[in-house]
Amino acid sequence: MLDPRGGAMAEIILFHHSQGLTPGIRAFADELAAAGHTVHVPDLFDGRTFDDVETGVAHAQELGFDTVMARGVAAAEELPAELVYAGFSMGVMPAQRLAQTRPGAVGALFVDACLPVAEFGTWPDGLPVQIHGGVDDDWFAEDLESARALAGSVPTAELFLYSGTAHLFADRSVRGHDPAAAALLSERALAFLGTWA
């Protein structure tokens, strides 16, 4: 499907990070929607949000990461197969699992995290993916090797690294927000989402 400006429209499911479905995640979804894309933003925490990453991670641990993952997978079940799977940090877990295991994926967008591909099998042939992370982000540092491995082994993968940014830098509603880096990420993500019909 094409938007009136002639660009391709994508249907996206966007999973939030450990601080919950924050205003910043909703704003990012709205930005994608304003460009003509359809965006689904499930709430994996049943309305709860947290002031910092550590408290949010503790909540996810209390729920169980398997439960969080299962909620994400369930949220996609009623949606079409031809989806872009997107996630911020913790939200990359269900996004990456679905991108690798649910037939029909058309793209993947990972922000602040990237799991080893082997966690979910192999990377689907030809599936495009963008990975965004901060080189000075201690949380992303744990995933940087996996991100580089994916970008280095898959021709349709792009890795973008941002200097001097904190975790969740693209979420305008949290402490680590970096407006310049967030704007660049949005520009790159929108260009990526406009590459297929």
Mind listing the domains of the chain with CATH numbers?
11-192 (3.40.50.1820)
pLDDT for the residue numbered 8? 54
pLDDT for the residue numbered 122? 96
pLDDT for the residue numbered 39? 97
- Scanning the structure block, which residue is given the tokens 């973008």? 160
pLDDT for the residue numbered 196? 56
pLDDT for the residue numbered 146? 97
pTM: 0.92
Separation in Å, CA 177 to CA 67, 99, 152, 167, 189: 28, 27, 28, 8, 17
Rounded mean pLDDT for each run of 10 residues along the chain, 197 residues in total: 51 95 96 96 92 86 87 94 96 97 97 97 97 94 96 96 94 94 97 78
Complete DSSP assignment for 122-162: -PPTT--EEEEEETT-HHHHTTHHHHHHHHHH-TTEEEEEE
